[in-house]
């Protein structure tokens, strides 16, 4: 989202980046949040190039609101579609890899790193559980971890006993078992202290293990973009590649970014970026009671008419044959720490 009305008096230098400790500036005041009644300022670091919101506070209850009506919530309803179709296809991991660049990137790293699939994986933030299930179906021994007991209960009911409800920080302190690979898809932008969260995950890696993370990519957006991610308190951070490189260096880890050139050759991937003032019109998504506001409810006519599998097929055909712009970057970045 680009702000065409940025004024000099909004550029305040009293902020200190909680990632790198350098000076940060206020870039936007009073941004509407995901839920009615919440507003935030957007802060950008001049050193590590991250953006974050003020107040920097996670509100876990918002996910209870989202997941009790996940089939209607804009942006999240696609997760509902994925979860609904997983057991109806022979190769669910391939379906996911053909659906979004983030899943393609994770699958690409796994295929290149673990050719025999003899690997133990922990998925942190497994949510509805469909990726953990897809990884197990593909031959990877995978456990899904989520802090929500309700989410874990539903995932077990849908897919089997592949999951456990726990807090990552607690698990890092008490568990002796380690994993060859840890996957965190679209997770680190949700937490208040991403560096500590990543460090906790790394402590659960076996020697030589890999931490695969995906998150929206600020570096891939046009200059002047203020925020191009879910709105707070869902997403609290908007990371550049430089930010994740900084965190990796701080934790004494090597950092490698996935190249999306092959994905972009095969699939059309829209580059969403617009004026922040226009996008603010569609906010908030939820009202004060946590219910999806009627004017932003996603319609499901196509799903009802065509069915989920046919809808996936039609989406695949459309993205496969639309004009593509080949690029090494995607609006989602995937980074591997080892």
Q: Mean pLDDT over all residues of the chain?
A: 90
- Has residue 274 been placed in a domain? yes
Count how many Cα atoms sit within 13 Å of the Cα of residue 81 in the half-sphere of its side chain.
Answer: 25
Residue 132: is its pLDDT beyond 70?
Answer: yes
Q: Is the pLDDT of residue 206 over 80?
A: yes
Secondary structure (3-state) at 225: strand
Please report whether residue 224 resides in a domain. Answer: yes
Give the structural domain span for 109.
8-337
Residue 32, domain member (yes or no): yes
Residue 38 lies in a domain: yes
Kindly state whether residue 2 falls inside one of the protein's structural domains.
no
Let me know if residue 3 belongs to a domain: no
Q: Is residue 1 part of a domain?
A: no
Paired sense of beta strands 205-216 and 141-146, if any: unpaired
Mean pLDDT calculated for residue range 68-78? 87
Residue 50 predicted with pLDDT over 60:
yes
The pLDDT tens digits for 5-37 are: 444 444 445 899 999 999 999 999 999 999 999
Flag whether 104 is in a domain: yes
The reported pLDDT for the residue numbered 275 is: 77
pTM, entire model: 0.91
Q: What CATH number does the domain containing 323 carry?
A: 3.40.50.150
In degrees, rounded to 5, the angle at the alpha carbon of residue 80 between the alpha carbons of residues 290 and 333 is 95
More confident residue, 213 or 305: 213
Domain count, the chain: 1
């Amino acid at each position: 989202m680009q702000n065409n009305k940025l004024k000099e008096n909004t550029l305040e230098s009293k902020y200190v980046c909680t990632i790198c400790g350098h000076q940060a500036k206020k870039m936007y005041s009073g941004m509407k949040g995901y839920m009615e009644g919440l507003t935030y300022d957007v802060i950008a670091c001049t050193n590590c190039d991250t953006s974050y919101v003020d107040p920097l506070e996670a509100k876990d209850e918002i996910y209870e609101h989202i997941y009790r009506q996940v089939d209607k919530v804009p942006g999240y309803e696609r997760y509902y579609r994925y979860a609904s179709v997983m057991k109806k296809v022979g190769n669910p991991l391939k379906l996911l890899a053909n659906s979004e660049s983030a899943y393609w990137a994770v699958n690409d790293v796994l295929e290149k790193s673990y050719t025999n699939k003899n690997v133990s994986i922990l998925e942190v933030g497994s949510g509805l559980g469909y990726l953990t299930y897809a990884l197990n179906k593909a031959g990877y021994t995978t456990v899904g971890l989520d802090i929500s007991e309700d989410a874990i209960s539903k995932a077990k009911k849908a897919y089997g006993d592949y999951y456990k409800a726990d807090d990552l920080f607690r698990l890092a302190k008490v568990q002796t078992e380690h994993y060859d690979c840890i996957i965190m898809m679209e997770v680190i932008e949700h937490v208040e202290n991403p560096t500590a969260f990543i460090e906790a995950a790394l402590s659960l890696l076996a020697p030589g293990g890999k931490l695969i993370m995906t998150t929206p990519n600020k570096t891939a957006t046009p200059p002047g973009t203020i925020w191009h991610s879910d709105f707070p308190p869902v997403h609290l951070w908007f990371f550049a590649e430089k930010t994740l490189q900084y965190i990796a260096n701080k934790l004494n880890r090597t950092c490698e970014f996935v190249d999306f050139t092959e994905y972009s050759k095969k699939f059309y991937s829209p580059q969403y970026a617009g004026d922040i003032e226009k996008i603010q019109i569609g906010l908030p998504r939820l009202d004060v009671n946590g219910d999806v506001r009627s004017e932003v409810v996603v319609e499901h006519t196509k799903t009802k008419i065509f069915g989920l599998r046919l809808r996936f097929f039609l989406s695949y055909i459309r993205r496969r044959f639309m004009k593509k712009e080949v690029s090494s970057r995607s609006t989602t970045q995937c980074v591997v720490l080892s």
